[in-house]
Every structure is written in structure tokens, then in C-alpha cells.
Amino acid sequence: MTSELILFFILAIVAVASAVGMLLSRNAVYAALYLILNFATVAVFYLMLSAAFISLVQVTVYAGAIMVLFLFVIMLLGAEHTGRLSESGWMFWTPIVLGAVLAVEALYIILRQWKAIPATQAAGSDFGAPAAVGLELFQNYLLPFEVTSVLLLVAMIGAILLARSKKA
């Protein structure tokens, strides 16, 4: 086993454990902290896949900003202690059934095409580097980049309108 494979398995255990911890914790704030750990682990996965830019975005946007939003929502709902949800009915069984279907599908594909999957499908190691992303984004994908700013503007105005409807 190479050192990268060992690292992958350690991180995979951490990722799965933090995801399970998030699902099982009674306190919603603890669940959010588990989710941050999970996001950080996934960021390292992206690094291992030589997608450095995505990894950085994962840390900045997801582990940073999205988690701040989650924590604010948890605190403004006063939902730190969710308690035990109803464990019967469709809310409990639907995710289990869907998860089982996904697991069976994945297992089927892996078992059937084990030999067919190439060992490495990696693009060049600088494919996901910030410099390569920057060149693509600011030369070939200029219009989508500028349209993104309009999208952000719309989201900004929408958020302000929703949260301050009384004064406007």
C-alpha cells in the first residue's frame, strides 16, 4: 500500500464516522460541528484528487460560510435540542430504503466492472490547480463568470428583501 492509500483509508474512516456522528447527535450544534469535520475531510479528498481549487472552495465556502449560516439558523430557531424525532413512518424508512438502493447499485457496479475500471484516470496533476482554473475561467468562460456576479446580486437583493420586508 502506498502512503496515499493509507491516508485515504484513514480519512475515509474519519469522514464516515463524522457523518454518522452528525446524524446521531441529539444536539444540533454538535451535529453542525461534525459536519464541519466532514467538510474538512472531503477537502483533503479533493486535494488527493489534485483538485486544489475545489478543495479551497470547500473549506472557504462550505466549512466557513455555509456552516455559519447553519449555526445561525439553528440558533435563531432555538433548535439546539431536537430530541428524538418520530422513528416510525415514512420519515424514518424512506432514507433507509433509498440508501439501501444506492448501496446495492454501487455494489453491483463495483462487482461487475471491477476489472473494467482503470487503475488511474487522473488528468494532469495541474488540471485542478488554481492557476489552470483561473486561465480557463477568465479566458474561455468569461461570460459565465460575469453572469455569476448577476446571480450573486439577485441572491443578495432577495435576501435583503425577505429579511427586511417590513421596512422596505
Q: Which of residues 147-166 bind another protein (CB under 8 A)?
A: 148-150, 152-153, 155-157, 159-160, 163-164
**Is 78 or 89 the residue whose CB approaches another protein more closely?**
78
What's the CA gap between 96 and 93, in Å, rounded?
5
- By rule CB under 8 A, what string of x and - marks binding of each residue 105-144 to another protein? --------------------x----xx-xxx-xxx--x--
Instruction: Classify residue 167 as exposed, middle or buried by CB count within 10 Å of its CB (0-12, 13-18, 19+).
Output: exposed
Say whether residue 64 binds another protein (CB under 8 A).
yes
Residue pair 22/74 in contact (Cβ under 8 Å)? The answer is no
**Is 21 or 64 the residue whose CB approaches another protein more closely?**
64
What's the CA gap between 86 and 136, in Å, rounded?
49
Q: Which three cell numbers stand for residue 145?
A: 463568470
Among 6, 24, 69, 91, binds another protein (CB under 8 A): 69
Say whether residue 146 binds another protein (CB under 8 A).
yes
Among 12, 16, 48, 97, binds another protein (CB under 8 A): 48
Binding residues for another protein, rule: CB under 8 A, are 4, 7, 47-48, 50, 53, 56-57, 60-61, 64-66, 68-69, 72-73, 75-78, 80, 125, 130-131, 133-135, 137-139, 142, 145-146, 148-150, 152-153, 155-157, 159-160, 163-164, 167-168
